[in-house]
Amino acid sequence: MIKKVDSTLGFPEIGVLLSGVLFGIFTMQVYIYHRNFPKDPRWMKFGLVDGMWLLELAHTICEFYGLYYLTVSRYGDPTVFLAFTPEVAALPFFDGLIAMLAQGFFTHRIAKFAGPPYIVPIVCSILMICQMVASIGLTTAATLVAEKNTEQFLHQWKWLIVTATVLHVTIDVIVSTALVYYLVKNRSNTTYRSTLAIADKLIQWAIGNVLAYFLKLNTEITSETGVVTSFVSILLMISFLLNVNNYLWLAFYAILPKFFSNAMLANLNSRMRFRDMQTTVVTEMATIQFPGTTAQPSELQMDLPAITSAPSESMIEEGPQFEVKALPLSLA
């Protein structure tokens, strides 16, 4: 069946162009990360962050080649949608790898916060493996079937596309819920102002502004993590189920991996904000003359470098120990 170009080509084109913009933002975040956190472990800098960038580069190249093929190489050909190119068929594989890296990063955070017996991380790991298997299956099916008959692929493997999307959403919800639970649990066990402020910001990174507002958290961060990726995945699934022959779902599919990678880098780079928060609290302490002491503000400020030089990254990296790390930075 020949599809109407005006009702199908526009959606993939918009999605690919937005994906290119998000890739540019992600590249900028990678640059900011390397500039501000040169002492991070090598596996994180070169394995996780740079590896994610290379995967995103490959994903973006495949998307733009597919767009070029649709709009230039086969310009004006109404049969262009009857078969996918090998580059487009490879997209599910890169999508699965990118999602697994990002979700694995947040699962690692949960493991640090929760500690043994690691029930939630184990469940998330199993689901991530299933998600990766589904992505590999989609790439294989797309290579064997979609390159010959797109219509047959979309109907024969519709269940696998839905399964992969459901796994995306499920993992995101579990990760966000677990992060909020453990952060709120640690938050409720402290009365230290700086620790509360940092915990509030971490919670908002997990659930976003809307839920944070209803929880009455003192937060200002406008970015979100798991909520955004879950929202895009849900839109993808709804648009796909409503009309598989309308390629609106391809627009969401094109940008979904970019939200995963940007969420991960935004989380890593957010440590700059926490570092600024710690420095601000310590500076305010240094300008207060405490009862029972004769120390002047200038004398207290002499000790600031020793306090503020403590790596703020440990608050995020060490899980349950983050409160202990933050204690020297404020007084109740």
Instruction: Tell me the three-class secondary structure of the chain, residue by residue.
Output: CCCCHHHCCHHHHHHHHHHHHHHHHHHHHHHHHHHHCCCCCHHHHHHHHHHHHHHHHHHHHHHHHHHHHHHHHCCCCCCHHHCCCHHHHCHHHHHHHHHHHHHHHHHHHHHHHHCCCCHHHHHHHHHHHHHHHHHHHHHHHHHHHHCCCHHHHHHHCHHHHHHHHHHHHHHHHHHHHHHHHHHHHHHCCCCCHHHHHHHHHHHHHHHCHHHHHHCCCCCCCCCCCHHHHHHHHHHHHHHHHHCCCCCHHHHHHHHHHHHHHHHHHHHHHCHHHHHHHHHHHHHHHHCCCCCCCCCCHHHHHCCHHHHHCCCCHHHHHCHHHHHHHHHHHCCC
Q: 222-261 pLDDT, tens per residue?
A: 334 557 788 888 899 899 988 888 888 989 999 999 999 9
Single-letter residue type at 143: T
Q: 83-107 pLDDT, tens per residue?
A: 788 888 899 999 999 999 999 998 8
**Higher pLDDT among residues 209 and 111, named by residue:** 111
Q: How confident is the model at residue 188 (pLDDT cuts 50, 70, 90)?
A: low
- Distance (Å, rounded) from C-alpha 233 to C-alpha 167? 10
Q: How confident is the model at residue 286 (pLDDT cuts 50, 70, 90)?
A: very low
Residue 36 has pLDDT above 60, yes or no: yes
Q: Which of 196-210, 241-255, 278-292 is the most confident on average? A: 241-255
**Residue 257's closest CA among 108, 43, 102, 69?**
102
Q: Is the dihedral of CA 137, 141, 147, 153 positive or negative?
A: negative
Mean pLDDT confidence for 314-319: 39
**Higher pLDDT among residues 283 and 110, named by residue:** 110
Residue 114 has pLDDT above 70, yes or no: yes
* pLDDT value of residue 19: 95
- Distance (Å, rounded) from C-alpha 318 to C-alpha 151? 49
Q: Which of 43-57, 143-157, 276-290 is the most confident on average? A: 43-57
Mean pLDDT confidence for 180-198: 60
* pLDDT value of residue 110: 84
Q: How confident is the model at residue 130 (pLDDT cuts 50, 70, 90)?
A: very high
**Higher pLDDT among residues 17 and 181, named by residue:** 17
The overall average pLDDT reported for the chain is 74
* pLDDT value of residue 269: 87
Single-letter residue type at 1: M
Q: How confident is the model at residue 315 (pLDDT cuts 50, 70, 90)?
A: very low
Question: Do the beta carbons of residue 236 and residue 249 sit within 8 Å?
Answer: yes
* pLDDT value of residue 314: 39
Mean pLDDT confidence for 206-220: 41
Domains of the chain with CATH codes: 5-191+221-272 (1.20.1070)
For 106, how many CA atoms within 13 A lie in the half-sphere containing its CB? 34
Q: Name the percent of the chain lying above pLDDT 90.
A: 31
- The reported pTM is 0.74
* pLDDT value of residue 287: 45
Q: 10-30 pLDDT, tens per residue?
A: 888 999 999 999 999 999 999
> What is the number of residues in the chain?
332
Question: Do the beta carbons of residue 151 and residue 83 sit within 8 Å?
Answer: no
Residue 311 has pLDDT above 60, yes or no: no
* pLDDT value of residue 145: 82
Residue 63 has pLDDT above 70, yes or no: yes
